A = this chain, B = another copy of it.
Amino acid sequence: MAAARMPREGRAQQRDNGSCPHFYLGKSSPSSPHPEARQLSPSQCVPGAFEAAAPALECRARESISDCWITPNKCGTITIENEITNPMTEKLELALKWSLNKYKYTRQLISEKLGHGSRTVDLELDYQIDILKDNKKKYNNILRLAQMFSSHLFHMVHIQKQLGNAFGDLSLKSLELQKEFGRNADTQKMVAKNGEILCVAINSFIENVNTLVNKTIKDTLLTVKQYETARIEYDAYRTDLEELNRGPLGPHSLPKIEESKLLFQTYKEKYEQLRNDVIIKLKFLEENKVKVLRSQLILFHNAIYAYSTGNQTQLEEILAQFHIKVKPGEKATPWFDEY
Contact = CB atoms under 8 A, between A and B. Distances in A.
Contacts of A308: 187, 190-191, 194, 308, 310
Which of A146, A152, A190, A305 counts the most chain B CB atoms within 10 A? Answer: A152
B145 A187 contact: no
A179 to B, nearest CB: 9
Interface in A149-185: 149, 152-153, 155-156, 159-160, 162-163, 166-167, 169-170, 173-174, 176-177, 180-181, 183-184
B184 A166 contact: no
A187 B155 CA distance: 22
- Shortest 8 CB-CB contacts between residues of A and residues of B: A180-B297, A309-B310, A308-B310, A152-B156, A152-B152, A184-B301, A149-B159, A145-B163
A125 interface: no
A320 interface: no
B301 A187 contact: yes
Interface in A179-218: 180-181, 183-184, 187-188, 190-191, 194
Given A177-B294, A190-B308, A191-B308, A166 B138 contact: yes
A290 B152 contact: no
Contacts of A190: 308
17 contacts: A135-B174, A138-B169, A138-B173, A141-B166, A146-B163, A152-B159, A153-B156, A156-B156, A176-B290, A177-B294, A180-B294, A180-B297, A183-B297, A184-B300, A187-B304, A187-B305, A188-B304
A154 to B, nearest CB: 9
A326 interface: no
Which of A141, A293, A297 counts the most chain B CB atoms within 10 A? Answer: A297
A232 B160 CA distance: 43
For this chain, the copies found in one complex come to 2
Contacts of A298: 180
A297 B159 contact: no
A4 interface: no
Chain A interface size band reads: 35 or more
Interface of A: 135, 138, 141-142, 145-146, 148-149, 152-153, 155-156, 159-160, 162-163, 166-167, 169-170, 173-174, 176-177, 180-181, 183-184, 187-188, 190-191, 194, 290, 293-294, 297-298, 300-301, 304-305, 308-310
Nearest to A307: B308
A160 B198 CA distance: 14
Contacts of A152: 152, 155-156, 159
Contacts of A159: 145, 148-149, 152
Contact of A138 (B148, B160, B170, B294): B170
A315 to B, nearest CB: 12
A130 to B, nearest CB: 12
Contact of A293 (B177, B293, B297): B177
A151 to B, nearest CB: 9
Given A138-B173, A145-B162, A152-B159, 18 more contacts: A138-B170, A142-B167, A142-B170, A145-B159, A145-B166, A149-B159, A149-B160, A149-B163, A152-B155, A156-B156, A176-B294, A180-B293, A180-B297, A180-B298, A184-B297, A194-B308, A308-B308, A309-B310
